[in-house]
Structure 1
């Protein structure tokens, strides 16, 4: 065999090997099994006015910041004066007007610490001054293999205890946000054993927690389902995906600024839905 022919055969074998390896690395790690219709709730003008009259405490991290930043735009679009936005973990002076007080609570990756910190803040004086309070955990608080049952028990038990001790406050529950479906780079990293912070296995864990939250609070009128909003397309469709035999949802690209955060469109949708939930829950509590 001539040297040129050997080189040619070696090159062909290399191309085939690279092609097979590439096909393996980028093959889908998950699949869509069905679609579900979902209507993202949005606040009416009267609901926005109701929310603006309330004293609201919102404990969160970065996705919550996306929502807070969208409050002025949501109110401006409706031609309504927005509530005052206060960034503080201290009890506010007595006020006759409504506001949204918010704080970056705890440390990302430590959901139990966030829950304990929320409990402490409410009991340190904030609970005696606000009408509505909510704690939103973050997508980074839930990774594949985490104990969702333990976190759910701590979350639900804390809300129940706070509701018992502060009956004049309406405590809301919130599902945990999602990340977008992993792309080729993420799948490649996962196949190579380098890990993927946005892989579907993490959204599976988040869905396990969110299913518990929905089962506990969906019928109370006190649930803000941010995960459902994030995973719904502009035409009102949620894609149900499956990974390793488990069903889950992921954030729609149209709502995403990056794999884990909301863009201006997603932020406005989430904020409007949040304010609608607040107004409805507060009105029901007042009856």
Structure 2
């Protein structure tokens, strides 16, 4: 049995995802990258999908996982990019047991004078990519276990998909849609032995943070917005990418084998107030 170092420095047997084949989208930075690292440490073979090819190359070089990590550049704002990446990933992995559909962007702030193109891009990345990805991966998951099926799909929503967001009604509406998609597909895919769940992280220490707090404002105003958010978090800080990855790991693993259709906040208590 191998022992791996996990994000946070702890070591323990790497078995929770042993022999599992996982696709993670938006995998080159932030929460997605933390997921790649953790899934590898837990024994999975991973296909990391991202639009940023340079970042994928750096990920591959830095993690040194050999054949257990494959990378795939794709534009997930298009139907062709989503479907093509899922099918290519499945071919390169030899099948799929886990999909973490994590792609998304903050999108435009406000609603007055909303640019339709920006709205459509936000919907395409936050909602369409998740729906099309699930619709494409299910045919591969049905082949698992000698045709009996089985697998786990995890979507990424947000606390903004649970309580709304004054910063970004477009983002919030997209993330509410992802929660609805989760609860629907959990029923649709249950006969195939495929579980579908969604995580709802709070504001995180990732490159995307400024897309929420710093959109069109000064550094001081961005810091004030972040401080205001943190003041409403009972645990008193932002969530870390590796903490989100741990939640996804649980939902994707057999430890959550009877869990489907749930929205799991990873928010330090923000949504319990």
TM-score normalized by the length of structure 1: 0.46
TM-score normalized by the length of structure 2: 0.48
Greater length-normalized contact order (CA 8 Å, ≥ 6 residues apart): 1
